[in-house]
Amino acid sequence: MVSAVSLRVKILGMVLGLVLLLGTGVTLQVRATLTRTLLAQLQEESVSLGRDLAARATDPLLINDLYNIHQLLRETRANNPDVRYAFVLDRDGRVVAHTFGGGFPAGLVNANAVAADAHHHTLAIATEEGVVWDTAVPIFEGKAGTARVGLSEARMHGAIASVTRQLLLTTAIVSLIGIATAIFLTWLLTRPVRQLVAATEAVRRGDFSPRVGRWADDELGELADAFNTMTTDLARADAERLEREQMRAFYLRQIISAQEEERKRIARELHDETGQALASVMVGLRNVEESPSVEELHTRLVDLRGVASATLENVRRLALELRPSVLDDLGLAAALRRYAADYTARFRIPVETQIIGLDDCRLAPEVETALYRIIQEALTNIAKYANATQVSVLLERRDGQLMAIVEDNGCGFDVEQVLRAGAREDRLGLYGMRERAELIGGTLTIESQMGCGTTVYVRMSESANQRVSESANERMSESASERIGEWANGRMASERSPCLLVYLSTCLLVYLFPNPP
C-alpha cells in the first residue's frame, strides 16, 4: 500500500534508489570498460616486451653470452612490474636463462609454443597467482631459440579494485548527501502541507481563524491561497447561517406569540362584538317576549333581525380575515379584489386595485397565500399607521416575472429604524413580510420617506415560482415529452420514412436537441 508510506520515505527512497542505481550502473560500466582496456593493454605489453626481449637476446644467444642474457631478463623484469617471469629457450627448447631463482616451474616450458615463422603467440596461463599472459617470440626466426615472457594480471586487478573502491566510496558519500538533501527537501515540501493539515483540523473543529502562509509561488502556494479563500468563505457562510438561525428562532417565537395574539383578538372580537351582539339579541328576545302588542312585537322582531344580521356580518368578516376561502376557490386576483373592497368598506380608505396577467391562471398555492398575506399585512399597516387617503395595489405578471406593489400617500416612516425596533420589540410585521417573500424565492423592498408615503415592492421570477412547486415541474417535463413526441411523429409522417434506423437516429437527435429548428 503506497498510501502507508510517508512523503519523507518516498522522497528518501527515490533519492537513494536513483543514487544507488546510478552508482551501480557507473561501477559496472567502468569495471567492464577498464577490464577490457587494461586487458588489451596487458596483452599488447606482453607482445611488445617479448619482441623486445627476442631482439635483444639474439646476439648474446648466438655468441653464447649467458651472463648478458641473464642480465637482460633481470632488467626486463625489474623495469616492468607486470612481468611475472621471463626466460629464453635455445633452439632445442632447453632453458638457457630465466628469472626464477633455484628451479623452474614444471610444465611452463611446454605451456606455450610459437612457430619459427610466426610473429608471436600469446595465451593466458592459469596459475595460482591468477591469469598470466604468456607470449612466445621466436629469436632470430627460431634459429637461435625462443624468448618467453609472462605478464601477470594481478596489478590490473589491483587497479580495477582500487577504481571500484573509489566509485563505491563516491556512491556512499553521494547517498549520504542524498539522504541529507531528501530530509531537507521533505521538511521544505511538507512544511506548508503540515500547516494546511493543522489548519484543516482547526476548520473541522469550527475554528475558521487560522490562515496558511504562502511559502512559495508554486502549486502549494496556490493551494494555500485556495485554502485561505475557502476558510474566509466558510467563516462568512457560518456567520450568515448563525444569523439566519437566530432570525428563524426569533420568527418562531413571533409566530407562536402571534398565534396567541390572534387567538386573543378572536376571543376579544367574539366577546366584544359577537358576544355583545348576541347579548343584544338576548335583550331583544326579552323585549319581544315582553312586547305589549302585536305591532310592537313586529317592530321589535324587525330590530332583532337587524341585530342578528349585523352579528352575522361580523362573524363572516372575522372568518374572512382568518382565512379567505375565496383565495382557495377563486384565486389570488379575485381574493385581492374582494379584500380591497372589504378594506375600503371597513377603513374608508379607497384602494385602487390593478391586476395584470393573472386573471385566467393560477399560481402555486404557497405563492398565492404568501402574496395575499404580504399585501394584507401592508394594507393593515397602512390602515393602522399611515393616515393615508389613497392606496393602490398593483399585481403584475409579465415576461416570467411577478411583481406586487403596494403604494400609499401616507405619512411614511424610517424603514431601518422600524426594522430594528421591530426586531427588538419582538414584533412580527415587516420581518414577516420579508420572510414570506424569501420563502417563495422573491425579494421584498420597502421605500419610504417621512411625509412622502410608502411603497412596498415584492419581486419574484416565474422560475423561482416553478422551483417552489414540484408538481409544476412534473407538469412541465410531461408537456415537454409530449411536445417532442409530437414533433418526432410529425417528421416521421412528413418524410414517410419506414426506416427504423432513421427513426431511432431522429429520436436520439430529438432527445439531444429538444428544440427543433
Partner 1 sequence: MKPAAPGLICFLLLCGCALLIAACTAYAAPAAGPTVRLHDLRPLPPTPPAKVVPLRVAVAAVISPRGNVESYTPLLDYLGRELNRPVEMVQRRTYMEVNDLLRDGEVDVAFVCTSAYIAGRRDFGMQLLAAPQVAGATVYYSNLIVPADSPARSMADLRGKVFAFTDPMSLSGRVYPTSLVHTLGAEPETFFSRIFFTYSHDNAVRAVADGLADGAGVDSLVYDFAVARDPSLTSKVKVIHRSPPFGIPPVVVGPDIRPQLRAQLYDLLIGLQDDPAGPAILATLGFDRFVPINDAAYETAQQVTSDTVIR
Q: What are phi and psi of 125, to 5 degrees?
A: -110, 130
Q: Please say whether the beta carbons of 408 and 382 come within 8 A.
A: yes
62 lies in the site for partner 1, by CB under 8 A:
yes
User: Which of 33, 37, 41, 64: binder of partner 1 (CB under 8 A)?
Assistant: 64
* 110, burial (CB in 10 Å: exposed 0-12, middle 13-18, buried 19+): exposed
Q: Please say whether the beta carbons of 163 and 81 come within 8 A.
A: no
Angle between helix 294-322 and helix 219-268 axes, rounded to 10 deg:
170
Q: Which of residues 301-330 bind partner 1 (CB under 8 A)?
A: none
Closest approach of partner 1 to the CB of residue 157, in Å: 7
Closest approach of partner 1 to the CB of residue 196, in Å: 22
Stretch that binds partner 1, among 105-113, 253-261, 453-461, 478-486 (CB under 8 A): 105-113
Q: Among residues 6 and 449, whose Cβ is nearest to partner 1?
A: 6
287 lies in the site for partner 1, by CB under 8 A:
no
SS3 category, 119: coil
Decide the pairing of beta strands 454-461 and 401-408: antiparallel
In whole angstroms, what is the distance from residue 7 CA to residue 427 CA?
Answer: 60
Q: Among residues 130 and 221, whose Cβ is nearest to partner 1?
A: 130
27 lies in the site for partner 1, by CB under 8 A:
yes
Closest approach of partner 1 to the CB of residue 88, in Å: 13
Q: Among residues 189 and 285, whose Cβ is nearest to partner 1?
A: 189
171 lies in the site for partner 1, by CB under 8 A:
yes
Q: Which of residues 31-60 bind partner 1 (CB under 8 A)?
A: 31, 35, 39, 58-59
Q: Please say whether the beta carbons of 410 and 385 come within 8 A.
A: yes
Residue 3 is classified by DSSP as G
Closest approach of partner 1 to the CB of residue 117, in Å: 15
Q: Which residues lie closer than 8 Å to 224 by C-beta, 6 or more apart?
A: 192, 195, 196, 212, 213, 214, 215
Kindly state the cell numbers that stand for 454.
Answer: 410608502
- Give the length of the chain: 517
Stretch that binds partner 1, among 73-81, 140-148, 311-319, 439-447 (CB under 8 A): 140-148
Closest approach of partner 1 to the CB of residue 70, in Å: 14
User: Which of 79, 103, 293, 399: binder of partner 1 (CB under 8 A)?
Assistant: 103
Which of 119, 146, 150 is CA-nearest to residue 57?
146
**Interface contacts to partner 1, rule CB under 8 A:** 1-2, 4-6, 9-10, 13, 16-17, 20-21, 23-24, 27-28, 31, 35, 39, 58-59, 62-65, 84-85, 94-95, 100, 102-108, 111-112, 123-132, 140, 143-144, 153, 157, 160, 164, 168, 171
